[in-house]
Structure 1
């Protein structure tokens, strides 16, 4: 692991060094675990006391943060700078270009320069994979798939036939792209399967967490926009459109043909019914159930979803119900006593 003088690290990261520019760091650790030779970070001011007591050699901090006795790397966005420091100081594994001898790759597959296909992976006929992409062990890439360059597919990712993936995408283990949408015509008590013949399109710079399922469209496309980030265990149904830069947190679900605008946020375990529209910048908080359209920029909570302020007031009222019940009980007893006294 390389040793980094703070002066050099500061130059590479484009940050200001406060303290000893010759101090050496070689890895990144959290405040509580860091020791001599470690770089740590403070991006949330609630942890200032931990930062003051850390044994790290240097700390990434935001402008205006003072920690006497510590070497600091000062920047506008310490969390973003942490990401860059990790890539620089603790880079991930390097993958050997080529096709593992146990992999199965059809003869007409087109592989760009530097593509790596791991052990027991399968790549179907007519598929094209861009330069620098890594297909991990046990992945199954169907026929006629297009994958861009510099993507990373962790082990056991499945991309069904005909789907299209952009550049610089990261798929964690267990992702399934292009599984059949949940479409059935129910007649006389029998559920008749509706063939799902569309595809999934994933645009550039998308990251999809472990065990996410994105269903192919019944007809046309299910589309995941540029820069979308999807947490683990999310379900995205057929013909859904997720707009650019949106964030979908773990165990959220989107029903068929719903459209999310740009930079929409869905909290953990939130759900959206089908054939709805969520406007640009809308936020759906955790465990919320959405049954009607959400305007741009709105924040909704609860079951069913309603404006967050309204939901918060109603929850405050619920919290007071116990005291209100006791108060009503007391009033009832006093009224009953007065009625008995009149008798």
Structure 2
């Protein structure tokens, strides 16, 4: 539930305002003044709440809604109970998220944790660092020599930014995160505990065991990237590790040295990307995906959760399974195995 102690709405919106802001169509113009003060899931709702209904399996919720207003597709709009303002939109969840950002702007973008402004007296900032006016460095943070931090960026408590790193404007480096050997763009969010720019996992066999290969590349994080808590991005061995503009990375993701990830990718938690993998633009990876080294994932590909990849994936294809293969083939194999198992079970029963 939305607790006003943590997230108070910026102001009250009317159903008519929401329609204008999102491009939704209000089913009944007489309901334009219905007040919206918060968000809720459709199965909970509540007074003053905006909810959304999308997907066939959720349409049954329409008739039992308890809410001020609902965003939904036009083909189910007539099923809403009387008194609920119906806002018809072809992409209800997208419109719902837009309203959420307006109602709760502080939830959409992390901010200072201590309420401090400027540079805390309890932070360590090397004299050679350049911190633009409007940046915030909170207590316990460490800013190394030659670092550059842009205006509007927040460095949270106990974050560490290593020597000569550059952090762009309007970003957020979460509590306990560490950044080294990295160039970070504008509006980048790096959540607490993330590790950026540490050694890649590079070793070569030696007479007495594995010997370290020096990792002398960088990490390049382009604008509008988000990296979740406790995720790691290793710096390149000799070339750079690159995270493309607009890409969103979940918690607990491992990205190895020399990986190049394109723009606007989605990478869900517990995924691991081995060294020198190239990921095209607009790729989606489900949770727990594993990629062997030196693979190429084509633009627009979709990788199913818990799949293991040992081959390149062509652009736009959907792959899954272990080992991963085109999803249609994987599903046919599963169906065949189930059929064989049933046949075997029936045969055992007849014996």
TM-score calculated relative to the size of structure 1: 0.90
* Bigger Cα Rg: 1
* 1:25 Cα deviation from its structure 2 partner: 1.6
Q: Name the CA distance, whole Å, in 2 between partners of 1:81 and 1:198.
A: 41
Q: How does 1:77-96 map to 2 (within 5 A)?
A: 77-92=91-106, 95=112, 96=116
Q: Name the CA distance, whole Å, in 2 between partners of 1:153 and 1:74.
A: 38
1:336 is matched with none
1:123 is matched with 143
1:239 aligns with 2:258: yes
* 1:118 Cα deviation from its structure 2 partner: 1.5
The gaps in structure 2 that reach 5 residues or longer are 1-8
Kept in 1: contact 2:131–2:148 (CA 8 A)? yes
Q: How does 1:28-67 map to 2 (within 5 A)?
A: 28-66=39-77, 67=80
1:7 aligns with 2:16: yes
Kept in 1: contact 2:64–2:81 (CA 8 A)? no
1:284 is matched with 303
* 1:68 Cα deviation from its structure 2 partner: 4.5
Task: Summarize deviations over 1:265-290 as a string: whole Å, max 9, x none.
Answer: 22211111111111112222122111
1:253 alignment partner, one of 252, 272, 283: 272
* 1:100 Cα deviation from its structure 2 partner: 1.7
Q: Name the CA distance, whole Å, in 1 between partners of 2:27 and 2:172.
A: 37
Alpha-carbon spacing, 1:139–1:317, altered in 2? closer, same or farther (3 Å): same
Alpha-carbon spacing, 1:300–1:3, altered in 2? closer, same or farther (3 Å): closer
Q: Name the CA distance, whole Å, in 2 between partners of 1:173 and 1:330.
A: 56
1:101 is matched with 121
Alpha-carbon spacing, 1:11–1:329, altered in 2? closer, same or farther (3 Å): closer
Q: Name the CA distance, whole Å, in 2 between partners of 1:47 and 1:301.
A: 26
2:34 is matched with 23
1:209 alignment partner, one of 228, 241, 246: 228
SS, match of residue 305 in structure 2: coil
1:144 is matched with 164
Tell which deviates more after alignment, 297-306 or 219-228: 297-306
Task: Summarize deviations over 1:286-327 as a string: whole Å, max 9, x none.
Answer: 221111222222222222222211111111122123332245
2:197 alignment partner, one of 178, 198, 202: 178
- Alpha-carbon RMSD across the aligned residues, in angstroms, is 1.9
How many residues in Structure 1 have an aligned counterpart in Structure 2?
331
TM-score calculated relative to the size of structure 2: 0.88
Kept in 1: contact 2:65–2:81 (CA 8 A)? no
SS, match of residue 341 in structure 2: helix
Q: Name the CA distance, whole Å, in 2 between partners of 1:219 and 1:146.
A: 19
2:213 is matched with 194
Kept in 1: contact 2:118–2:133 (CA 8 A)? no
Q: Name the CA distance, whole Å, in 2 between partners of 1:60 and 1:147.
A: 38
1:158 is matched with 178
SS, match of residue 59 in structure 1: strand
Q: Name the CA distance, whole Å, in 1 between partners of 2:21 and 2:349.
A: 71
Alpha-carbon spacing, 1:265–1:5, altered in 2? closer, same or farther (3 Å): closer
Q: Name the CA distance, whole Å, in 1 between partners of 2:155 and 2:56.
A: 40
* 1:189 Cα deviation from its structure 2 partner: 4.7
* 1:135 Cα deviation from its structure 2 partner: 1.2
2:133 is matched with 113
Kept in 1: contact 2:268–2:286 (CA 8 A)? yes
Tell which deviates more after alignment, 321-330 or 60-69: 321-330
The gaps in structure 1 that reach 5 residues or longer are 334-343
